[in-house]
Chain A
Amino acid sequence: MAGIQGIPHIAVDRCKGCGLCVSVCPQSVLAISDGAVNVKGYQPAIVAEPERCIGCTSCALICPDVVISVERIPVKKEVKS
């Protein structure tokens, strides 16, 4: 079955860890890092479940710091029997 795989890219050192992207992702792809901090000293957003992304761009639309870019690639998804 053909489908779409989304790929969110996070420019980690621009992130302020606000969590808005995490809150709007319908697929629970994103999370806030629970340890690592970025160059600004914030705990940034991370791509926790990359294979779940559908490329909807909601995360990028709500990010106030334009940290996220999104790609879409067509994929063949195996139909599970």
Chain B
Amino acid sequence: MSVVFSRTKGLTEAETHYCPGCTHGIAHRLVGEALEELDLLGNTIGCSAVGCSILSYNYINVDMIECLHGRAPAVATGIKRVRPDSIVFTYQGDGDLASIGTAEIVHAAHRGENITVVFVNNAIYGMTGGQMAPTTLAGQKVTTAPAGRNPVINGMPLKVSEMLAQIPGAAYVERVSLHSPKEIRKAKRAIKKGLTCQVEKRGFSLIEVLSTCPTGWGLSPVDAVAWLEANMVPYYPLGVLKAPEGGKNV
């Protein structure tokens, strides 16, 4: 008899506050498993953000610090610079990273800070009640655009990974999704690659994780993963956008 799946030591025993079927919980688990498998749990400092993931410090089993809205990359920069041997990551949603935190993320990438960013994109502001985010899809109905996002007034959704990948200081950028077991396995590999990139001191790494918000989207959890695959993946294509030079294994 062998146990082929059990709870990672990278998560605490706490039960999460997330809505039923919200895939934030999967992203948390992947971070915990990646840290455990790379034997980094005792040497990692996490920076949690503002939004639905604000309590991630209760769930991911490493020392964590809660950052002001959007400022996690700046906090991570400070920690990494005074503790260069610690592994430092941020866990930020799109309402945090892609709007109020745009300056911080762009300049952390621009400086080539040797940190890892887990960027969870669910195309909406979940915690505050389903408002439009910079990442909300064209036509997607949200509480602040009940007829759907109108690109003429609101612009097209921001492709954060594409924007950051073209910055010379960004070493590794990949977009993954959580809509199926197969994609979840790939997402974990990408998070491990991002952390490995940091261990090897290759510079800034960011993994964008397409995630669901069943509550904000007004869909059942099962319909939400189908919606993600059908609507988000075509606009936010999956794959590696930037890989470190000479880092074939990263």
> Size band of the A side of the interface?
20 to 34
13 A–B contacts, CB within 8 A, in A order: A17-B20, A20-B222, A23-B222, A57-B5, A61-B26, A62-B184, A64-B21, A64-B25, A65-B16, A70-B3, A70-B5, A71-B3, A72-B1
A64 close to B15 (CB less than 8 A): no
Least CB separation from B32: chain A residue: A66
Interface size in chain B (residues, C-beta < 8 A): 31
Chain B residue at minimal CB-CB distance from A65: B25
* Residues of chain B within 8 A of A24, CB atoms compared: 180-181
**Given A65-B18, A66-B8, 12 new contacts (CB under 8 A):** A18-B214, A18-B222, A57-B5, A60-B5, A61-B5, A62-B181, A62-B184, A64-B23, A65-B16, A66-B7, A66-B29, A71-B1
Tell me whether B249 is interfacial, beta carbon within 8 Å. no
- Given known pairs A20-B222, A72-B4, the reply for A66 and B181 (CB within 8 Å) is no
Cβ-defined contact, A14 with B22, below 8 A: no
Instruction: Flag A50-79 by CB within 8 Å of B: 1 or 0 each.
Output: 000001011011111110111111000000
**Which residues of B are at the interface with A, using a C-beta cutoff of 8 A?**
1-8, 11, 15-16, 18-26, 29, 178, 180-181, 184-185, 214, 220-222, 225
A66 to B221 CA separation, bound complex (whole angstroms): 15
**How close is B131's CB to chain A, nearest CB, in angstroms?**
23
Task: Decide yes or no: A16 and B2 within 8 Å by CB, A23-B222, A24-B180, A66-B11 being known contacts.
Answer: no
How distant is the Cα of A66 from the Cα of B36 in the complex, in angstroms?
16
Q: A62-B26, A65-B25, A66-B29 are in contact. Are A16 and B20 (CB under 8 A)?
A: yes
- For the complex of A and B, the 5 pairs showing the least CB-CB separation, nearest first, are A64-B25, A18-B21, A16-B20, A60-B5, A18-B221
B14 to chain A, nearest CB (A): 10
Given known pairs A58-B181, A62-B26, A62-B181, the reply for A16 and B21 (CB within 8 Å) is yes
Output the nearest chain A residue to B185 by Cβ-Cβ distance.
A61
Nearest CB on A from B55, distance (A): 14
Judging by beta carbons under 8 Å apart, are B20 and A42 in contact? yes
Cross-chain contact B3 with A62 (CB below 8 angstroms): no
Q: How far is the CB of A30 from chain B (nearest CB, A)?
A: 13
Q: Which residues of chain A come closer than 8 Å to B8, judged between CB atoms?
A: 66
